[in-house]
Structure 1
Amino acid sequence: MASSPTTSSSQSPRPPRPPRPNLAFRRLRGQRSPGEFAAAVRRAAREIDERVSCDARYIGRVEAGEIRCPNYAYERVFLHMFPGRTLTDLGFVPRSAVRGRGARTAEVAPAPRTTSPLSAPHETDGAYEPYVTTHDPYASYDPHEIDDQNHEESDVQRRAFMSGGTATVAAASLGPWGLAFGGTAEAAPRSVRRAGEAEAGALEEAVRKIRLLDDRHGADGLYRRAAAPLRAAYALLDAGAARQATTERLHTGAGELAISVGWLAHDSGRFDDARSHYAEALATARVARDPALEAHAFCNTSFLARDAGRPREAVRAAQAAQYAARPLGSARLLSLLALREAGGWAGLADRTGCEQALTRAQALYGRGPCDADPEWMSFYGDAELAGLEAQCWSTLGDWQRAAHQARRATRLQDPHFTRNLALYTAELADDLARAGHPDEAAAAGLRVLDLLDEVQSSRVQTMLAGTARVLLPHRRASGVSDFLERHRALPRPA
């Protein structure tokens, strides 16, 4: 959807030296993930009354050597975390070595930012923020600008697919049996020059099928098999349609399919792939001038940013989604988007901002469903509302309130949707463990283990692993050793 920027060799006769990785800082992180380490940095900052917007991306930039010397706020936090060490011990260069020099070279310097009323108060500058806003929260957003790798792989694959394909091949790939994971779609002998109602319908049906299978079984087993239908969807767009109404359906269908495939990547822990698919959906929405698709793409982008340890991006994306969604007339959609915003504020440890967004979400949800509610929101009911609120309280460290909402979510969830039931129960187990109820946590964890034969979700397995670590010191509590043994026996992901 977007091409890579090119630069003239005459403008840069001597390319800058690549940054030297900060191996000392990487060793200090140890076995923690970048997201976990970023959370530890934010906790340490609060201990000394500092406010830094540290996320996994910032930690990656430090370890890659892009940040040669941190700003003063980060310096105080890092020296608090590792007392007795100097910046040099942490792998940074002395401040005197970078003082007075200009900004980093254009190849690595971030885009200039404008002050936004959406910024959290008193937050120290230093973390990358892709949502630079003025009056319009999403006017300056370029979906490929926010990704260092510019994710062109899917675009290259699409061009290769389209060079020898037709709308007939695409429709065959999208057909319900082609997506039923039984085989590959064969090219039909007949060539279709333009896509029609049948092809648009096949695309919409493919989206519904993916969502249904994900609800029941989780994402891990679906993601790789959904790539072909996604390429087929964009092949249909390339083939074109005779009627404008069909073209609009194809754009919406392709964008929704990109979001669905992005969610499969997201739920199975492939965050970079998910980011690329969501950006592709957002670009499609912009081309089609489709505010409903744009709101959906920003909604999922916000959720991904929260999970990837970029809470400020989560807030910005959720607010951009609300801006796009306001004219659509769906209170339920605005409620879900307010919950996405609440999750971002929780990640920023802003309890007031989180509570305000939760109150707004509950009030909007109380207005009830309406005909304007998008089809993709069928998952959003009482159980999901409680489950997302539980995640907010958990992020804020209020384990008792988190456990209360997670328990409500498990009771309200239709057991037919096994994946969501496993997710809410895993959330409950973790909240109970951290609230000091190891026996109840183990019982909930065992219920999740019973569901794993039907559910393949890296998200659920990651949550269970965290619960197991918390419960290790409580092996003698009722049921804990049984849970730990069964969890240890789980096959590890390849």
Structure 2
Amino acid sequence: MNVTHVSEQAISFAIWERPAMRQALASRDIAGVYQLLQRVGVSQRRIAALTGQSQSEISEILNGRQVMAYDVLVRIADGLGVPRGYMGLAYDGDSQHPLPAVYQEDGDEDEQVRKLLAHAAQVTIGAAPASVEEWSRPLPHQETPVPDRIGEAEVETVEKVTESLRALDYRYGGGICRDAVLAQLGWSNQLLRASCTEEVGRRLHRALADQHNLAGWTAFDVGLYPAARRHLARALEQAKYAGDPSLAANILYRMGRVHLHQERVKDALRFFQLGQISAQDASCELTVAMLCVNEAWAYALLGDEKLALKSVSRARDEFARADQDSAPGWVRFFGQADLDAASGVTLSNLVASDAHLSEAAELLAASVEGRAHDMARSKVFELIALATVQLLLGEVEAGLDHGHQAVTLVTQLRSVRTIDRLAPLEKAAFKRRAAAGADHLLQRIADVRINPQR
């Protein structure tokens, strides 16, 4: 077996996050897991190479043989790169494989220092063998202490950290920063136990609401929809408690986007409409514009051209009146490129005439042109939409070029959502498969579903 080759072809993390796959893993339905892998292009031979099973054994499993042996389940999980917890399998326990003495917390400080000095000496002279497997195990966790009393400075720190993590999400995808968001949220939440003034307490709840807002958004971006809903639900509660209708409206917008992505369009529309109520209370034109253009997208998917165009028009009017510089951080991202992109996507979903597609192409091209480099994920969405529209219009060369640009960017992000959004482009490219170069794009899209790092 060529182990190096197999490791280079590691299956994408995105595969394990899909709802059907998560369900199969949770129930230890190995046949179901293998079938789902085959649907995205993973062959029986490759499954066998990764899991150490023979192809005949794989065939038996696909034909109904259940896998019950714990050690085989562990070997399958580790070979495929599935987090063991997804299959209800235990990670190696400390009792079976205890950490070296230097990592144990027993003994007084003098004893711990002696252990560290001895360990440092062994590592320095090469007497302590390296163990890569051991390094993958977490070290004992100890909570970071928080102050007994907090003021504006501590809350401002929470806000600034959220802002920094949000920038990482925009640029690299939720898979890069979700764990960091959750870790920060765990610490920030402890601040609720500290004493503070009523005003500081209200600001803290608002800051926590926005961190949950970001936690929900990053969960959504990697396909963890139940986790996204939980965080967004808590975010909305705390935003309402803090008396911030602008933040509440933003959270409702994100709830809508989660369900729009899942093709629950009517549910998404209801969330957008609830967001409008909060946005009106906030007197924030930028938030109203954002919600209106997303309502338009939903109306277009529902086939209501009149309401879709009406919502686009209102979004443009509200955006023209908005003061983007004074808008809060959670909505400040919504600029001209975002308005153009959402308007273009809306028009591309209206099938009444090619005129809509032509205008959609112009808007999407403008959004791509105006997109800043630090908003890579947004640019991917816009390139995908632009390429799709161009292929539908028969502008095949431009469509394929933008399609390749989109796929290249997808491989540089940790975002399941960007992979999911390749589906319309794949469909449009398939219709043009007779054109030179279309097969290459189709192959790249198929590859990226299996391994997005190519």
Structure 1 and Structure 2 fold alike (TM over 0.5): yes
The equivalent of 2:239 in structure 1 is 285
- Residue 337 of structure 1: CA displacement? 1.6
> What code does the residue aligned with 2:286 have?
R
1:201 aligns with 2:143: no
- Residue 371 of structure 1: CA displacement? 5.9
Q: Please say if residues 430 and 464 of structure 1, whose CA atoms lie closer than 8 Å, have aligned partners that are also in contact.
A: no
The equivalent of 1:227 in structure 2 is 182
- Residue 308 of structure 1: CA displacement? 2.1
- Residue 473 of structure 1: CA displacement? 4.4
- Show the 5 A alignment for 1:2-401: 187-188=143-144, 192-237=147-192, 239-369=193-323, 372-397=326-351, 398-401=356-359
| Structure 1 vs Structure 2 CA RMSD | 2.8
Q: Distance in 2 between matches of 1:371 and 1:439?
A: 39
- Residue 312 of structure 1: CA displacement? 2.4
Distance change >3 Å, CA 256–CA 470, structure 1 → 2: same
Q: Distance in 1 between matches of 2:446 and 2:264?
A: 31
Q: Distance in 2 between matches of 1:321 and 1:191?
A: 34
Which of 378, 389, 399 is matched with 1:420 structurally? 378
- Residue 184 of structure 1: CA displacement? 9.9
Structure 1 stretches lacking a partner, 5+ long: 1-29, 32-181
Residues 195-220 of structure 1, C-alpha deviations (whole Å, 9 max, x = no match)? 33343122112210121101211222
More helix by share: 2
The equivalent of 2:361 in structure 1 is 403
Q: Please say if residues 409 and 424 of structure 1, whose CA atoms lie closer than 8 Å, have aligned partners that are also in contact.
A: yes
Name the SS of the counterpart of 2:384 in structure 1.
helix
Q: Distance in 2 between matches of 1:370 and 1:434?
A: 34
- Residue 383 of structure 1: CA displacement? 0.7
> What code does the residue aligned with 1:250 have?
L
Identity %: 24
> What code does the residue aligned with 1:259 have?
N
Distance change >3 Å, CA 267–CA 436, structure 1 → 2: farther
Bigger Cα Rg: 2
> What code does the residue aligned with 2:196 have?
A
Q: Please say if residues 315 and 342 of structure 1, whose CA atoms lie closer than 8 Å, have aligned partners that are also in contact.
A: no
Structure 2 stretches lacking a partner, 5+ long: 1-34, 37-137
The equivalent of 2:5 in structure 1 is none
- Residue 493 of structure 1: CA displacement? 5.8
> What code does the residue aligned with 2:229 have?
R
The count of residues paired between Structure 1 and Structure 2 equals 313
- Greater RCO structure (CA 8 Å; 6+ sep): 2
**TM-score normalised by structure 1 residue count:** 0.58
Name the SS of the counterpart of 2:440 in structure 1.
helix
Q: Distance in 1 between matches of 2:281 and 2:441?
A: 49
- Residue 185 of structure 1: CA displacement? 8.1
Deviates further, 374-383 or 389-398: 389-398
> What code does the residue aligned with 1:380 have?
F
Q: Distance in 1 between matches of 2:360 and 2:140?
A: 45
**TM-score normalised by structure 2 residue count:** 0.63
- Residue 273 of structure 1: CA displacement? 2.0
Q: Distance in 2 between matches of 1:308 and 1:214?
A: 20
- Residue 453 of structure 1: CA displacement? 4.5
Residues 377-402 of structure 1, C-alpha deviations (whole Å, 9 max, x = no match)? 22111110011112212333454433
Deviates further, 390-399 or 351-360: 390-399
Distance change >3 Å, CA 371–CA 191, structure 1 → 2: closer
1:438 aligns with 2:396: yes
Q: Distance in 2 between matches of 1:426 and 1:403?
A: 11
> What code does the residue aligned with 2:248 have?
E
Q: Please say if residues 433 and 470 of structure 1, whose CA atoms lie closer than 8 Å, have aligned partners that are also in contact.
A: yes
Q: Distance in 1 between matches of 2:446 and 2:265?
A: 32
